Amino acid sequence: MNASHAERISAGLGLIWLIVALGFVLVLAQGAALPESPAPGTESPLAARGTGTTAAPAEAAVQPVSQAVSLQEQKALAEFIAKRWRIAEEAAARFVSLAYRAGSAHSVDPVLILAVMAIESRYNPVAESGMGAKGLMQVIPRFHLEKLSDHGGEEKLLEPEVNIDVGAQILREYYRRLRDEELALQMYAGAFDEPTSQYANKVFAERARLEPIRQRARKQTAQSV
């Protein structure tokens, strides 16, 4: 092999190694740009949405807000609910406050809780059904005795604070099991196999009425700060 031929081979090999090295750098750069996967075991709260689509992981759905913003949106929601459902504003304010407390405790959108109350009982705290469901969120006590034991038993179920808290726990439990907001609502209604998701769609429609009230109150409060 003469010197010039060897030099050509050496130069060719050098070019190949340069191409390989550049390719490796490119792969590393692309990998660094990929979004990180969510940490194993993390769970998504019931999202604050206005549609009945499957709930995708959305940890930001139930966002912490300042106390001033929270109180303002609660006031706005209570006024709207009182007018829409023709109940005393004091009662509406209490139900909204309890929904926010339960929502915070169990990572459930408080507006979803309020929407469930509207569909289940029309905000009647002493409502009872022929199936034995009771209170604002129409909880059937025999299915949730363990949760009720933490509040003093079944006899406490007609107390709004207990009823809303237990209802929120049930919603959260069903969502954790099914990972789908629509299915969780259908199970809550005892209509899991109903193909049209009629119950869930009613809840979503009611939440769609409430959500603009919340967002408007947030915007107004933010502008006044």
Distance, in Å, from the CA atom of 28 to the CA atom of 32, rounded to the nearest integer, reads: 6
Question: Which residue ranges of the chain lie beneath pLDDT 50?
Answer: 2-6, 9-11, 13, 15-45, 47-62
Domain 67-224 grouped into CATH 1.25.40.340: no
Diameter over CA atoms, the chain: 102
The alpha helices in the chain, defined as continuous H runs, are: 3-33, 67-85, 89-106, 110-121, 145-149, 160-178, 181-188, 198-224
- pLDDT attached to residue 152: 85
Q: So where are the chain's domains? A: 67-224
Q: What one-character DSSP code corresponds to residue 124? A: -
Q: Which residues make Cβ contacts (< 8 Å) with residue 186, sequence separation at least 6?
A: 192, 194, 197, 199, 200
- pLDDT attached to residue 160: 97
Q: Which residues make Cβ contacts (< 8 Å) with residue 180, sequence separation at least 6?
A: 54, 55
- pLDDT attached to residue 107: 96
Distance, in Å, from the CA atom of 212 to the CA atom of 111, rounded to the nearest integer, reads: 11
Cβ-based neighbour number of residue 10 at 10 Å? 10
- pLDDT attached to residue 225: 65
Structure tokens at 68: 């001033």
Torsion of CA 122, 189, 48, 50, to 10 degrees: -80
Whole-structure pTM value:
0.72
Distance, in Å, from the CA atom of 161 to the CA atom of 98, rounded to the nearest integer, reads: 6
